Amino acid sequence: MTDQPHPYQDPALPIADRVTDLLARMTLDEKLAQMTIFGFPGEQPRLEVEGPLDVDLLRQNWPHGVGGIGRVGLYRGSRETAVAANTIQHYAMHETRLGIPILIIDEALHGLMGWHATSFPQAIGLAATWDPALVEQAFTAAAAEMRARGSHWALTPVLDLARDPRWGRTEETYGEDPHLAAQMGAAAIFGLQGRAPDHPADRVLATAKHFAVHGQPEGGTNCAPANYAEREIREVFLRPFQTAVQIARAATIMASYNEINGIPVHKNKWLLQDVLRGEWGFDGLIISDGGGIRDLERLHHVAADRADAARQALESGIEYELDDCFALLKEQVAAGLVDEALIDTAVARILGLKFALGLFENSLVEPEQAAATVHSPAHRALALEAARKTITLLQNEPLPGGQPLLPLDTAALKRVAVIGPNAARVHQGGYSVQAEDGVSVLDSIRHYLDGQAEVVYAEGCRITQDGGGWPAWWRDAVVPSDPAEDAARIQEATAVAQSADVAILVLGENEGVCREGWSRDHLGDRSSLDLPGAQEALLQAVAATGVPVVLVLINGRPLSIQWAADHIPAILECWYVGEAGGTAVAETIFGANNPGGKLPITFPRSVGQIPAFYNHKPSARRGYLFHDNTPLFPFGHGLSYTTFAYSDLEIIPPAIPPDGAVTISVTVTNTGQRAGDEVVQLYLRDCLSSVTRPVRELKGFQRLTLQPGESRRVAFTLTPTDLALLDEAMRLVVEPGEFAVMVGGRSVGDGLVNGRFTVT
């Protein structure tokens, strides 16, 4: 690097001026190097290894510098990661010609995916909290841990709408509803980036992904086509992304693997240019998904080779690659096939982000500060709070004595059986590593009941041969459990249950059977939603003993548990509940925590009900022969150890003009004997419209904590944005007519209060 100061090295100058000066000094090789990542999905060497960082890998592969480096700290502790990050930046700042710092890129789907980092509940679990403020806190903590270790860019949040739970990436989403996903996604972005327009030193860049229409793939298989009508795309799938761009100001957007209307997203100019940049005014960076540019050739067959794929992606709007194709643009520029101005535009955005993050002035981190920040006591406490708020009580039927089974009375227990393949293991879901202080349900129950009751354990069966765990998410092969071994395990579990006062069965999925299916050799989608393996047989065998059963589900997608709903009195849905999940589950079972989570996604009775999302069109649920057409557990459902009542619905004014606003308020009262949380949900239906509308749509929600007997008035204001539709001419309008209002603690069922207002 030259010692002579240049304008781009002057922090007093505006960022735009610094970018212009630096860009003018760069060779084409240096520009192309800025548009790619080192050590991610390509064929180049990786840095995801233990031990000291090999800087020679950088010198040999990237003599002109590089835009970013991926996952530096995946297999390192916090101090070691900080040292490695400093080594990387020293090379970039002092051994390359222009001294351009490097963006260090990490995954942070539910906390930093790095050794010893804090692991929060999986995204689908965070969605079950219905608490955007909590989500913002969690991602603020994740950003602080990332920045302390030297990272600058999080490849999250996932804003896909999970409308086919066969899809293994359902766990990564905030559920099926566009409004809920938009609010949770915006909260995650605010947590990562902050709410100020600048980029504070303890925040990172966020990436809204996967843009777009990725969450309801054909057949529920990852990367499959998503050829939906434009109206459906705009009114449903794009809404969380529009909020991410125009409200939360996400710095980057990641293209999705799928095709729309026959055009893969990585070359879809309508989506990337016309909608994202033209209509929404997005001025951030558009990036590829890992290998997404190469897929234009090898998966979609719309590019002749990698060079052709690189050209098509660049011309369509992709500006940064998690791939290894953009280097092939050099020859195409020389041949006049690619306009270098497109490269300049992309590089200018990348450099602008580096200047905005302050990396040219201060790219180094303090290793001891990293150790103090990552997995701090405050972050661990937040992970426990998030776990408590995630847990959702699906069912709590009374026993013959008339009282619900949960919470269990410890004074009445002498022996508790804890059974199941997920009881003694900590499962965190995809995009995580083993939590430093992860605690299992079994260990937590033993700790909770220490000195009060005996705890006996049996595995019962296995979901997969290896039992799951975070390495199973990475491995290609998934080996089912051995049926003969499971039969013996079930027999043992039955004997253990018979000796106990109550049986707590911890079932569900693991990281091997619910995950991202990123290739034909690495599958993660399922054609069934039943409990995998011998778990149903285990559940039935234990229930047949006559011992009361509590079913605890640890999983990443809705499961079709019809038999359990018919025969098991108490069911807790915990999702992948994070490093503190075992503690939160034990507290909930024994009453120290009153569950208040709500389902962010519908539970179908069987896989044959798919699609089962609640906000369907009026003609979509006529029914099937010999089958109940209602969901097993609807969107928004979740019980409590207390009860809530809704009253005094008020709609002011009762009639509004098309550009007016209406305020809807209701009184919520805790009518039970315990303090508890309720999520107040507001749904709306356009009763008569020029185009078909959903039977109901979520338009507002608020999580409350109420003491016994306490009442609180909750109000929502709806604006024209909430009432608008795309008419037959695809114009966004508010049509006159009547709107039905439904407010309560779930999307359908008893307890909702109803009203109407009119648009004149």
Q: Let me know: does 551 contact 571? Beta carbons within 8 Å.
A: yes
Sign for the CA dihedral angle at 271, 275, 280, 286 comes to positive
> Could you tell me which of 547, 598, 549 has the C-alpha nearest to residue 573?
598
Q: What's the CA angle centered on 163, arms 160 and 168, to 5 degrees? A: 75
SS (H, E, C) 27-89: CHHHHHHHCEEECCCCCCCCCCCCCCCCHHHHHHHCCCCCCEEECCCCCCCHHHHHHHHHHHH
Strand pairing category for 549-554 and 570-573: parallel
Q: What is the DSSP letter of 499?
A: T
The closest of 335, 332, 277 to 307, measured between CA atoms, is 332
Calculate the alpha carbon distances from 41 to 24, 149, 224, 260, 290 in Å.
31, 22, 20, 24, 6
Angle at 23 (CA atoms; ends 20, 26), nearest 5 degrees: 155
Kind plus residue range of the DSSP H or E element containing 341: helix 340-356
**Beta strands, E only, 266-321:** 285-287
Bond into 611 cis (ω within 30): yes
Q: What residues act catalytically? A: 289
Do residues 681 and 701 touch, judged by C-beta distance below 8 A?
A: yes
Q: Phi and psi of 203, rounded to 5°? A: -120, 170
Contacts of 127 (CB under 8 A, 6+ apart): 173, 174, 175, 180, 181, 184, 600, 601
In Å, what is the CA distance from 305 to each residue of 67, 269, 302, 328, 519?
24, 20, 9, 10, 19
Residues in the chain: 760
Give the DSSP letter string of 127-154: HHHT-HHHHHHHHHHHHHHHHHHT--EE
Q: What share of the chain is helix, strand, coil (3-state, %, to 5)?
A: 35, 20, 50
Q: In angstroms, what is the C-alpha Rg of the chain?
A: 26
What's the distance, CA 367 to chain centroid?
Answer: 29
